[in-house]
Structure 1
Amino acid sequence: MPEGHTLHRLARLHHERYAGHEVAVESPQGRFAAGAAMVDGRVFESAEAIGKHLLHNYGPDRTVHIHLGLYGKFAEHPRPLTPPQGLVRMRLVGPTHWTDLRGPTACDVLTEEEVDALRDRLGPDPLRSDADPDKAWQRISNSRTSIAALLMDQRIIAGVGNAYRAEVLFRHNIPPLTPGKDLDEAMWKTIWDDTRELMEHGVRTGRIDTVRPEHEPEAMGREPRKDRHGGEVYVYRRALQPCLVCGTPVATAKLAARNLYWCPACQRA
């Protein structure tokens, strides 16, 4: 599932290409036909991301809400148009480009009240200027749940996924099963600031890179990571491979139906 930086990249791209223009919106597949008819021919006002949710704003009570889920993908193209290929849930056509959306978990039109309800049920997004990390801290500091699970709870922090969760805990030597209430506020602020910086890098580059300069392939004389997700990381999807810092095999386990990765030596309780 794409993490928050991917949705913020998409929001910036769509805003640059479509904002201020009348656009055509259709649903070749048919599953979004009624929603597409509500915004077809209107001016695309703006695009924004909140956590893993993308919002295309068309004015009062006309916001297209998209959650990609596990299988959703956007395909971006310059004009001219070509016929739809496969099951295209939504096609968005502007003056210079067009975008096809396939396989999202959600694609619907929300009212202003529904958008407000979405914002209210999500935690602060580290990539948004209006984020309040104290709101997340209030819940974390009173919870017996592990910090690894809390970081993945979109009601507490919006946009953080499995990769950023694993990497930020490793970078600060935090055992992933540490209860939230056992963190001190200074460490929470460090986690928040580092998560924000890592995700901002992801927005700029389109990759999840978390290793420090001294652990880059060139510095260590090792081969670059080969993984379809790209990016240089410490523990994410590196189960049983040697830790880049101490050489201990990276551990993995299931936590809340997701794979958890950590170094048993660097993140010792």
Structure 2
Amino acid sequence: MPEGHTIHRLAGLHRRTFAGTVVSARSPQGRFAAGASQIDGRVLRETDAHGKHLLLGFDDDRWVHIHLGIYGKYTFGQAPPPAPTGVVRLRLSNAADYADLRGPNTCELIDPVEKKALHARLGPDPLRADVDPDLAWRRIGRSRTAVGVLLMDQSVVAGVGNIYRAEALFRQGVDPALPGRDLTRERWTAIWDDLVLLMAEGVRLGHIDTVRPEHTPEAMGRPPRVDEHGGEVYVYRRAGMPCFLCGSEVRTGVLAGRNLFWCPGCQGG
């Protein structure tokens, strides 16, 4: 499932491509036909992103709410668009460009009240300037739940997925199994600041790269990572390999139904 930086990149791409223009909206697959007919011929006014939710705002104050889920993906191209192939849920186009959305978990038309309710049920997003990380701390600091679970709870922190969870906890030396209430406020602030830094880099680069300059392949004389996710990481999907810092074997396990990766040496209990 795409993590928050991908959704913020998509919001920016929609804004650069369509904002201020009249768009054509179609649902070749048919599952969003009613919604597409209501925004067809309207101006895409603005875009927004909160966690893993993409929002496209039109000049009638309604929003298309999109959650990609596991299988959702976008294709952008220049006009004229080709005949749609596959199950295209939503095609937006203007005189210059088009965007095809396939396989999302959610694609729906919502009003401002529903949009406000969506934001209210999500935790603070490290990529948004209008959020208060103290909202997350108030949940984390009194919880018996493991911090590794809390970081993946979108009502606590929005936009963090498996990779950012594993890498931020490693970089701050925090055991994923540590109960939230045993995490110090100072350590939470460090985790939050690291998420802000790493996720902003993800928006800039288009992939997740979490290693510090002194631990890059060039600096350490090691082979670069070869993985479909791209980018250099410390522990994510490195189970059984030696930690770059202490040499301990990177461990993996399942926590709240998701694969977890950590270094027992650097993140010891």
User: TM-score w.r.t. structure 2 length?
Assistant: 0.99
Aligned to 2:100, the other structure's residue is in SS state: strand
Distance 1:87 1:152 in 2: 30
The CA deviation at 1:106 is 0.2
- Are residues 1:49 and 2:27 paired? no
1:93-172 alignment runs, 5 A limit: 93-172=93-172
Aligned to 2:54, the other structure's residue is in SS state: strand
CA deviation profile, 1:90-120 (whole Å, cap 9, x unmatched): 0000221100000000000001111011000
Amino acid at match of 1:89: R
RMSD of aligned residue pairs (Cα, Å): 0.8
Distance 1:13 1:159 in 2: 18
Runs of 4+ in 1 over 2 A off after TM superposition: none
The CA deviation at 1:154 is 0.3
Distance 1:165 1:104 in 2: 23
In structure 2, the residue matched to 1:175 is 175
Aligned to 1:152, the other structure's residue is in SS state: coil
Aligned to 2:88, the other structure's residue is in SS state: coil
Distance 1:75 1:258 in 2: 28
In structure 1, the residue matched to 2:4 is 4
The CA deviation at 1:248 is 1.3
In structure 2, the residue matched to 1:232 is 232
Distance 2:61 2:18 in 1: 19
The CA deviation at 1:61 is 4.6
The CA deviation at 1:241 is 1.1
CA deviation profile, 1:121-145 (whole Å, cap 9, x unmatched): 0000010010100010001001000
Aligned to 1:120, the other structure's residue is in SS state: helix
Aligned to 2:197, the other structure's residue is in SS state: helix
CA deviation profile, 1:50-87 (whole Å, cap 9, x unmatched): 00000000134510000000000000111121100111
User: TM-score w.r.t. structure 1 length?
Assistant: 0.99
Distance 1:134 1:95 in 2: 44
C-alpha contact (below 8 Å) 1:60/1:111 kept by paired residues: no
Aligned to 2:48, the other structure's residue is in SS state: strand
- Alignment length, in residue pairs? 269
Amino acid at match of 2:128: R
- Are residues 1:189 and 2:192 paired? no
In structure 2, the residue matched to 1:262 is 262
- Are residues 1:76 and 2:76 paired? yes
Percent of paired sites with the same residue: 59
Amino acid at match of 2:5: H
Amino acid at match of 2:223: E
Amino acid at match of 1:229: H
Amino acid at match of 1:92: L
Distance 2:189 2:81 in 1: 48
Distance 1:212 1:154 in 2: 27
Distance 1:114 1:136 in 2: 22
In structure 2, the residue matched to 1:66 is 66
- Are residues 1:21 and 2:28 paired? no
Amino acid at match of 1:226: V
Distance 2:26 2:132 in 1: 37
Aligned to 1:38, the other structure's residue is in SS state: helix
CA deviation profile, 1:4-51 (whole Å, cap 9, x unmatched): 000000100100110000000000000010110111100000111100
